[in-house]
Amino acid sequence: MRYCFTDRFGGRSEGRYESFNLALHVGDDPLIVAQNRALLSQKIACENLVFMEQVHGDSISIVRDVSSPKIRRCDALITNLPDVALCVMVADCIPVLLHDSHTQAIAAIHAGRNGVAKKIVNKTIQAMQETYGSSPEDIQVFLGPAIGSCCYEVKEDVTAGFEGYVRHHEGRIYLDIMQKCLDDMCEGGVSAQHINNAQICTCCEENYFSYRRDGVTGRFCGAIVL
């Protein structure tokens, strides 16, 4: 198994997308994005990259074949195919990668506020159980850079479902979606010792794209391959 989380450096994009933008939907030149994706392919040593059309929900797609291009409108991918890199694009949401070495199954998950509220990571683990026979206690979790509670300011109307994860500071409201994601996984049977957390806030750390900080910007990527 190989995995990586990119940062914003080492690509060909310019301006607001400088330089390693991997998203086609943010206004960058598609030809340059294709070049950046080719660089990602080299970085992870895999020619078959599978991306999602991420929709901020909890739908999961099983990757059984990559012989023909397919648009996957979902927020999680799972597979047990070798030499297929599952990719998740983010610029504040949590990029989650899963690996079960016993069943040789992997997953890539886009865990934003809506996805975390709907427990998308736990649902993906359940899908791995049902499809490949994975057990939560065998799964290794890799969490990439994501916005922290230090920067994720919200309005009161989006805090439903996050009771216990709302932080107040100087009259402002912040959400800790990372901690909720961690707690949900552990409650679902994932061992805390198997969770690897980058613990980097994308909004604070300018080495990463951040939609909250910059508005129009690129997307970095988490990718995993067997």
CA–CA dist 225, 86 (Å, integer): 7
Q: Would you say 80 and 66 are in contact if contact means Cβ atoms under 8 Å apart?
A: no
Question: What letter represents residue 222's amino acid?
Answer: G
CA–CA dist 213, 17 (Å, integer): 13
Q: What is the pLDDT of residue 207?
A: 97
CA–CA dist 159, 212 (Å, integer): 17
> First and final CA of the chain: distance in angstroms?
4
Give the fold, CATH level 3, of 2-147+195-225. CNF1/YfiH-like putative cysteine hydrolases (3.60.140)
Enumerate the domain spans of the chain: 2-147+195-225
Total count of residues recorded for the chain: 226
Q: What is the pLDDT of residue 92?
A: 98
- Could you tell me whether strands 85-90 and 94-100 are parallel, antiparallel, or unpaired per DSSP bridges? unpaired
Spans of the chain, pLDDT less than 70: none
Q: Output the pTM of the full model.
A: 0.97
Q: What is the pLDDT of residue 67?
A: 83
Q: Would you say 3 and 142 are in contact if contact means Cβ atoms under 8 Å apart?
A: yes
Q: Indicate the helix (H) or strand (E) that contains 76.
A: strand 76-79
